[in-house]
């Protein structure tokens, strides 16, 4: 195999970052046809198509995203060479792109990423969003993994794989009950105000079923779809809050909140959602630890 033609790589790098042949050609003072030929030559040399055409847009495919990561590294190395010789060295780092549901526990996200936090050779990019947008980014290889508390739907042509990372109990927590009797479940829920996750939450659906079987009509103070906000309200308001204890772990450790009881047969599952790739991110492979996890769902 011949050595990589770095001119071809530079042309690809410009198109990938511009997202358009037209803009990249104008930037590099080339015709679109000439630029297209250079991209084709690079694709021929590496043995993979690097872009998919979606309408009038060029979208990086998996091989293209890998090529762009390497191209970024190559051209960054030139900057590092100049910086080093000028006495201002820059460290090279690996990148892991993580998507997380906006409603997902921040404590869980931190636990998952903890092995990489603070490593000088690793750059973590964490983006929050809804499931639909995050999965779209994952499918386009703009993310390496999506963290969620529900699996991605599996269909015949679905590219997604769900890794069950953890299963957490769900509890009723609240401020210490100074001068009050011990909390009785489910009887006290007839009179005790509740802070609950929204109806979009799987644990809310399961909890409502528990109350229905107990013939209890709850007094609902608030329904919140953001676990961080639910955590803050649990600290500030009277009543009890339905959450996985990991969400309020710091408050429980500090005694600001106490765990009144765990809800039988109600749990929250945490998933890492990935796509099958020919070029997996090695940082992610280390976090998933496939040999130790339950089978993909």
Bridge-based pairing state of the strands 122-129 and 94-101: parallel
Element (H, E) at 116: none
What angle, rounded to 10 degrees, do the helices at 32-46 and 6-18 form? Answer: 120
Per the CB < 8 A criterion, the answer to whether 62 and 279 are in contact is yes
Token couple for 263 = 């809800």
Return the DSSP state at 141: T
Sole residue written with tokens 């100074």: 178
Return the DSSP state at 187: G
**Both ends of the chain: CA-CA distance in Å?**
41
Per-residue confidence in pLDDT tens, the chain, 297 aa: 467 888 888 899 999 988 888 888 888 888 888 888 999 999 998 889 998 887 777 888 888 888 998 888 888 877 767 765 665 555 556 889 999 998 888 889 999 999 999 888 888 999 999 999 999 999 888 899 999 988 998 765 778 999 999 999 999 999 998 878 889 999 999 999 999 998 888 899 999 999 999 999 999 999 998 888 999 999 988 889 999 999 999 999 999 999 999 998 899 999 999 998 877 788 898 888 653 334 334
Closest C-alpha among 162, 218, 213 to residue 195: 218
Cβ-defined contacts of 20-28 (< 8 Å, 24+)? 20/57, 20/58, 21/58
d(CA 295, CA 297): 6
Measured from the Cβ of residue 71, the count of other Cβ atoms closer than 10 Å reads: 20
What domains, with CATH codes, occur in the chain? 6-85 (1.10.10.10), 94-166+271-288 (3.40.190.10), 168-268 (3.40.190.290)
Alpha-carbon distances, residue 24 vs 17, 42, 45, 95, 177 (angstroms)? 8, 16, 21, 25, 65
Q: What angle do CA 80, 82, 87 make, to 5 degrees?
A: 90
d(CA 125, CA 101): 14
Q: What is the pLDDT of residue 127?
A: 93
- SS3 of 217-232: the string is CCEEEEEECCHHHHHH
Residues with Cβ within 8 Å of 99's Cβ and at least 6 positions away in sequence, in order, are 126, 127, 128, 129, 134, 137, 138, 143, 145, 146, 147
Q: 274 has which bridge partners?
A: 161
Radius of gyration of the chain (CA): 25
d(CA 104, CA 268): 11
Token couple for 175 = 């401020």
- The count of C-alpha atoms lying within 13 angstroms of the C-alpha of 165, restricted to the half-sphere facing its C-beta, is 21
Q: Residue 288: helix, strand or coil by DSSP?
A: helix
pTM summary value:
0.66
Residues in the chain: 297
Closest C-alpha among 99, 98, 109 to residue 249: 109
Q: What is the pLDDT of residue 85?
A: 67
Closest C-alpha among 97, 100, 155, 161 to residue 131: 100
């Amino acid at each position: 195999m011949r050595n990589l033609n770095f001119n071809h790589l530079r042309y690809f790098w410009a198109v990938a970052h511009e997202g358009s042949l037209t803009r990249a050609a104008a930037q590099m003072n080339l015709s679109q046809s000439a630029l297209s030929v250079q991209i084709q030559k690079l694709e021929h040399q590496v043995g993979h198509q690097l872009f998919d055409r979606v309408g009038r847009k060029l979208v990086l495919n998996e091989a293209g995203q890998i090529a762009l990561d390497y191209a970024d590294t190559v051209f960054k190395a030139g900057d590092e060479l100049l910086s080093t010789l000028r006495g201002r060295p820059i460290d090279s780092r690996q990148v892991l792109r993580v998507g997380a549901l906006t409603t997902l526990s921040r404590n869980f996200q931190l636990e998952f990423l903890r092995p990489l936090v603070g490593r000088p050779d690793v750059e973590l990019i964490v983006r929050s969003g809804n499931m639909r947008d995050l999965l779209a980014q994952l499918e386009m290889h703009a993310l390496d993994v999506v963290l969620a508390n529900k699996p991605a739907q599996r269909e015949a042509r679905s590219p997604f794989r769900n890794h069950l990372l953890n299963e957490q109990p769900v509890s009723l927590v609240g401020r210490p009950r100074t001068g009050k009797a011990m909390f009785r479940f489910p009887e006290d829920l007839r009179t005790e105000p509740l802070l609950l996750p929204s109806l979009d939450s799987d644990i809310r659906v399961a909890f409502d079923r528990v109350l229905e079987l107990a013939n209890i009509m709850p007094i609902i103070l608030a329904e919140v779809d953001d676990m961080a906000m639910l955590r803050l309200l649990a600290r500030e308001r009277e009543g009890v809050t339905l959450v996985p204890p990991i969400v309020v772990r710091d408050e429980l450790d500090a005694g600001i909140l106490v765990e009144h009881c765990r809800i039988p047969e109600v749990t929250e599952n945490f998933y890492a959602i990935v796509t099958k790739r020919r070029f997996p991110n090695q940082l992610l492979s280390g976090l998933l630890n496939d040999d130790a996890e339950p089978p993909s769902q």
